[in-house]
Structure formats: C-alpha cells, structure tokens
Amino acid sequence: MQDVNWIALTIFVLLFAMITWLGFAAAHWRKGDLDLLHEWGLGGRRFGTVITWFLVGGDVYTAYTFIAVPALAFGQGAVAFFAVPYTIVIYPFLFLVFPRLWNVCRKHGYVTSGDFVRGRFGNRWLALAIAITGIVATMPYIALQLVGIQVVVGALGISGHGFAADLPLIIAFLVLAAFTYSSGLRAPASIAIVKDILIYITAFTAIIVIPVELGGFGKIFAAVPAQKLLLPVPGPNTTGAYGSYATLALGSALALFLYPHSLTGILSASSGHAIRRNAAMLPGYSFMLGLLALFGFFAIAAGVSSLPEYAGGFKQFGNNFAVPALLLHSFPSWFVGIAFAAIGIGALVPAAIMSIAAANLYTRNIHREFINRNPSDRQESQMAKWVSLVVKFGALIFILFVPTQYAIQLQLLGGIWIIQTLPSVMLGVYTRWFNDWALLLGWAAGTFAGTTMAIAVNLKPAYPLALGGYTFPGYIAVYTVILNLLVTVVLTPVFNALSARHAPADQTAAADYFA
C-alpha cells in the first residue's frame, strides 16, 4: 500500500468534520417535533422540489454505485452501462405511480409501504411480509455503503491490522449513528446537498481533465479491449447478452422505488408536484452516473492496474480500486481529498436514510402491529430511533466480520426480493382487485423461485430461462415478479370464491390518490 497521503487526508477529515456538524445542526432545520415519527422519519413531509432532488439523488445514486459501476466497466466493459437505461426507465414510474402513493400516504399518515398495504388490503400479515422484505433487502445495502468508505480510506494510504485498520470505518459509523438518532431524516437531507456538490465537481472536472491527459476519447476507447467495448452479439436461438442487458435495466428500475429508502425519500417531499418535477430533474444524476461508468475505461487507458504503487490497493479491493487509483493517478492531492470525501460522505447519506427507512418499517409494521398496539407518539419515534441504531450496528458488524463478497451477493438477492412487493405496492396504488391472501402467496412464490434461481446460477443476476429450444438469459427479478403476478391473478378469484368472509375494508378511497 502507498504511504499516507497527508494533504488528501487533511481535506478529507475537514470535510467530514463539516458534515458532522451539519448533521447535528440539521435537527433545528425547518424545526419540527422530533418526537413524532413522521417528523423524525420523514422530515415532516416538508421537503420541496430542490431538497427532494438532493435527497433522492443522494439516496439512489450511492457511494457504492460510484465505486461499483465504474469497477464493472473496468472489469467487464459495456455491460456496466446497463446503469444508464436503468436510470432512464425508472422515471416514468416515479412520475406516474408515486405522486398517487404520496397523496394517499399523506392523507392517512402512512410512513411506510407496509402502512399503505395494511390500509389498502387490510391484511397485517401481508404488511408484515412487505416490512420484512424491505428490512432484509436494505441491510446488505447499508453494509455495501461501508465498502465505499473502506475503499477510499484504504486509498488515502491508511492501513493497519486488526482493530486499527477498522477504526476509520467505526468512527465514520459512530458519527453517522449519532446524527441520524438526533436529527432523523433532516440530517441526510442537509448533508446530501454538500455531498452532491462535491460529487458534481469531481465528476465534471474528471470528465474534462482526464481525457485531455490521456489524449482524447479516441485514444481511451482504443485502449479498451474489443470484446469489452460492446455487448457480445447473441448466437442463434438465444437472446444472449441483449436479453440480460435489457431485463437488468428494467428489473432494477422496477425494484428501485420499492426499496424502503427510496420510498422514504419520496414520501418526505412536500407535494406530488415536487415528485413529478423530480422525475424530470433526477436524470441529471443518471447523466453523471453514465460519465462515472466511463471512468472505468479511463482507468483501463491510464493503465493504473499495472502501476506498482496501486498494486496493493487492487489486491485488497479488486476492481473497486479502479476509480480511487484513477483519481490518485490523475489529480493533485488536494483534489483527491475532495473527491474521496465526496465518495465517503456519499456513503453516509444513503446509509442514514436506509437505517431510518428500516426503522420506520420495524416500528410501524412489526412493533406497533404485533407487540405494542397503542404506543404514544413519543414511544413510537423513540422506538424508531433505537432501531435505526440497531440496524446500523448490524451492518457494521456484518462488514467487519463477513467477507465483502457476501454483502454483494445478499444485495443482489435483495433486489430480487424487493421486487416481489410490486403487486401489493405499485399495482395496489391503482387497484384493489387483488385478494390479500393471493398477494401474499404470490409474494411467497416469487421470493422462493427467485432465491432458488439465483442459487442455481451461483448468485449471478441473470438466469438462462429455456423455453422450447430457445434460451432467454434474463434478470431473475423480472422472471419471478411475472410468476408472482400470475400466482396472484390466478388465486384471487379462487380465494374470493372460497372465502365466505367479506374482503377486509379498504381504508382508502379513490379520491385519496389525487391531489
């Protein structure tokens, strides 16, 4: 490993200190009573268009994305660019579905997707399934944010053994835990603004400076091996890489806003209009993500993996070290400090929102439903604060003691699991036609089939579905959510006919979904 880079480290620490202060100060921003769950956990639903843009942007485009997408381009080439169509096709869903969900959630004081499903379908077991899926899918995601911090801390030249090696990560997490506890969603919302400005400065500087240093885009792409430059053309009787590319983009897009942390970001907006405007403004981040994916190719062209000073980093972090190495190679130390701080802080924002979202789910759909049915407002928000701590320390312990590879694989499974809540949540916004028990069985079928398929292909995202002599490699989440829907649609009339009872009452009325 290279020596400690003192200038970069100093700037990194200063910026970190600044956002720590900001995180605590945020408690007083648009002050609300933090003893109410929707104040602590949704910022009082008062964030306008601009704050929502920063918050959802910080939430969706995480530090791990900024490390992993270029790393994928660096290692495997064109396929990494699926992140671009993915982040194009999410926005129509955001535009059409989520303002309706926002309206109904505000009308009825729903804080989580579980709350909505409970109210809409009147089945607490279905709401429990939604809540558990959300929590389980979120935990490895939080752990992965720590990988982002680990990589940049390592790249700053801080290394050691045992406890000393983990100390920076532990400090970062204590800070995160403390300000999330005290300020709730206001903390990541305010920090997201700083973080995004730093990220945009880094991305736009790098996209101009590095190609100039390397002699232009023509030379950069000439350095990329031909088989990495484009998707391989499918052979006969298969949709090949085209099928996986498109289904990965579509499936990831469908899953994204079902994640509890995305929903928390959306529900904290001040109006449905703010959400719609963001569907047009958030592609700003997609554009930056595309630029960042190109950094993987810059790293190939700069030849950082063969430079001796970065050998230790690549050995420890694999391809995830490509972007830090590229930045170290191309920029003066002070700028590296800013860029690394952007990535490190970029990990704290989503980690904070994810832990808040998981805490909201536990508090509302597990604790309140099954343990203490009539908590006071104060008890409820206090419970959520404690759970946010538990969730974060769980993620910290996970990343310290379990190989990173497991967190990555669990996060992959998480995407397959979370999409199974689509019929209840996204389609539930439009229709009450589904039977609640049919939805629960559809969810179970999709979750089981998805997990089995993923294990069958050694925890890769794509499964080669064989149908009548043709092979359709595709994202497991897409295949299994179709199965889930089929089961739900077939069983709905069956359950309706079998059951003598009346369907549980729908708390929501048609007009609640409109402004």
Partner 1 sequence: MNSAQKKRGGWSWWYLLFVLQFVAVLWPPFYNRAEPRWIGIPFFYWYQMLWVIVSAVTTAVIYLATDD
- Contact positions toward partner 1, by CB under 8 A? 78, 81, 84-85, 87-89, 91-92, 95-96, 100, 216-221, 229-231, 233, 241-242, 245-246, 249-250, 272-273, 276-277, 279-281, 283-284, 286-287, 290-291, 294, 511, 513-515
Nearer to partner 1, 246 or 410 (CB): 246
Contacts of 78 (CB under 8 A, 6+ apart): 228, 229, 230, 231
Nearer to partner 1, 132 or 279 (CB): 279
The span from the CA of 400 to the CA of 166, in Å, is 7
Number of Cβ atoms within 10 Å of the Cβ of 187: 30
Residue 133 Cα distances to 252, 328, 358, 366, 405, angstroms:
16, 39, 10, 12, 21
Least distance from partner 1 to the Cβ atom of residue 218, Å:
3
Least distance from partner 1 to the Cβ atom of residue 140, Å:
27
The span from the CA of 337 to the CA of 119, in Å, is 48
Nearer to partner 1, 175 or 291 (CB): 291
Least distance from partner 1 to the Cβ atom of residue 224, Å:
9
Rg (C-alpha) for the chain, rounded Å, is 23
Nearer to partner 1, 470 or 514 (CB): 514
Least distance from partner 1 to the Cβ atom of residue 8, Å:
30
Nearer to partner 1, 431 or 458 (CB): 431
Least distance from partner 1 to the Cβ atom of residue 276, Å:
5
How many alpha carbons fall within 13 Å on the CB side of residue 454?
23
Indicate the angle between helix axes 333-361 and 63-76, nearest 10 degrees: 110
Least distance from partner 1 to the Cβ atom of residue 222, Å:
8
DSSP string, 439-458: HHHHHHHHHHHHHHHHHHTT
Nearer to partner 1, 230 or 455 (CB): 230
The span from the CA of 217 to the CA of 191, in Å, is 34
SS3 per-residue string spanning 221-274? HHHCCHHHHCCCCCCCCECHHHHHHHHHHHHHHHHHCCCHHHHHHHHCECCHHH
The span from the CA of 104 to the CA of 111, in Å, is 11
Least distance from partner 1 to the Cβ atom of residue 117, Å:
20
Phi-psi category of residue 402: left, alpha or beta, with phi > 0 → left and psi -120 to 50 → alpha: beta
Structure tokens at 191: 């920090």
How many alpha carbons fall within 13 Å on the CB side of residue 330?
28
Structure tokens at 226: 């031909």
Nearer to partner 1, 79 or 156 (CB): 79
Least distance from partner 1 to the Cβ atom of residue 436, Å:
24
Least distance from partner 1 to the Cβ atom of residue 213, Å:
14
Nearer to partner 1, 164 or 222 (CB): 222
Residue 257 Cα distances to 85, 155, 444, 505, angstroms:
16, 32, 20, 26
* Residue 290 near residue 128, CB atoms below 8 Å: no
Least distance from partner 1 to the Cβ atom of residue 76, Å:
14
Structure tokens at 238: 């298969």
Nearer to partner 1, 248 or 438 (CB): 248
Least distance from partner 1 to the Cβ atom of residue 200, Å:
15
Nearer to partner 1, 123 or 244 (CB): 244
* Residue 338 near residue 8, CB atoms below 8 Å: no
Nearer to partner 1, 83 or 354 (CB): 83
